[in-house]
């Protein structure tokens, strides 16, 4: 019986191993198929791009150069047969350098460096600007209060309102009993208020 149990265990293990292997081979097969499909799609699209560039060059009588970089390979199309053009791969790589890649340690090293003199200078300039800004704000506040004081009661409506506030109840009743004022009455009223100020 023990022998039969061991045999069953072995068969079970073999099935699991073969299923695992088949799963791995299935994944490899799928990745290969996908890779082939991607390569074929890229090739088709690249050729279509070159065909459209050729059509554009013939229709518009323009000089066209197309450079496609894919997976470290360069594919070029040129509508002219000049030897000086297109540029070499080295010239293209020099004109479009690869970006530098920073690691976490690079940022930690930069974080530990002391502040530069430029940063101190900027802080100093900001302090100076803050002082000048507060001085300017104080000046404008003074000018605004001066204008408010000098403009008080300057318009005829304001003067008339201030005058009515100074009058007693009998004077305001007198104005109400006289009825609406005519234009000549208003001029004399304004003249009298100007004399009072």
Within this chain, do residues 158 and 83 fall inside the same structural domain, yes or no?
Answer: no
Within this chain, do residues 135 and 185 fall inside the same structural domain, yes or no?
Answer: no
Within this chain, do residues 86 and 11 fall inside the same structural domain, yes or no?
Answer: yes
% of the chain residues with pLDDT over 70: 47
% of the chain residues with pLDDT over 90: 4
Within this chain, do residues 31 and 62 fall inside the same structural domain, yes or no?
Answer: yes
Residue 52 has what pLDDT?
92
- 75: helix, coil or strand? strand
The model's pTM is: 0.33
Q: Of the spans 33-37, 62-66, 161-165, 186-190, which averages the highest pLDDT?
A: 62-66
Whether 179 is in a domain gets the answer: yes
Contact of 153 with 166, CB cutoff 8 Å: no
Whether 104 is in a domain gets the answer: no
- Mind listing the pLDDT tens digit for each residue in 132-154? 777 776 777 777 677 655 555 55
Residue 22: domain span: 2-98
In the chain, the number of structural domains is 3
Say whether pLDDT at 197 is over 50: no
Within this chain, do residues 122 and 195 fall inside the same structural domain, yes or no?
Answer: no
pLDDT band at residue 48 under the 50/70/90 scheme: very high
Distance separating the N- and C-terminal Cα atoms of the chain? 127
Whether 111 is in a domain gets the answer: no
- Mind listing the pLDDT tens digit for each residue in 92-114? 777 777 777 777 777 777 666 66
Closest CA to 193 of 156, 152, 168, 150: 156
Q: Which two tokens stand for residue 27?
A: 């994944």
Q: How far is the CA of 76 from the CAs of 68, 92, 180, in angstroms? A: 6, 12, 94
Whether 108 is in a domain gets the answer: no
Residue 1 has what pLDDT?
45
């Amino acid at each position: 019986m023990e022998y039969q149990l061991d045999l069953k265990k072995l068969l079970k293990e073999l099935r699991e191993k073969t299923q695992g292997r088949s799963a791995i081979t299935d994944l490899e097969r799928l990745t290969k198929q996908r890779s082939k499909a991607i390569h074929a799609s890229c090739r088709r699209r690249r050729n279509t791009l070159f065909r459209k560039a050729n059509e554009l060059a013939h229709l518009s009588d323009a000089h066209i150069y197309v450079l496609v970089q894919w997976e470290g390979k360069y594919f070029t199309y040129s509508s002219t047969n000049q030897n000086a053009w297109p540029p070499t791969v080295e010239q293209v790589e020099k004109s479009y350098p690869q970006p530098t890649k920073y690691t976490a340690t690079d940022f930690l090293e930069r974080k530990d460096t002391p502040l530069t003199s430029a940063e101190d200078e900027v802080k100093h300039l900001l302090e100076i600007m803050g002082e000048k800004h507060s001085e300017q704000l104080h000046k404008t506040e003074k000018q605004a209060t001066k204008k408010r004081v000098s403009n008080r009661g300057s318009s005829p409506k304001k003067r008339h309102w201030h005058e009515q506030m100074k009058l007693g109840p009998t004077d305001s009743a007198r104005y109400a009993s006289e009825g609406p004022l005519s234009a000549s009455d208003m001029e004399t009223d304004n003249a009298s208020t100007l004399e009072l100020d």
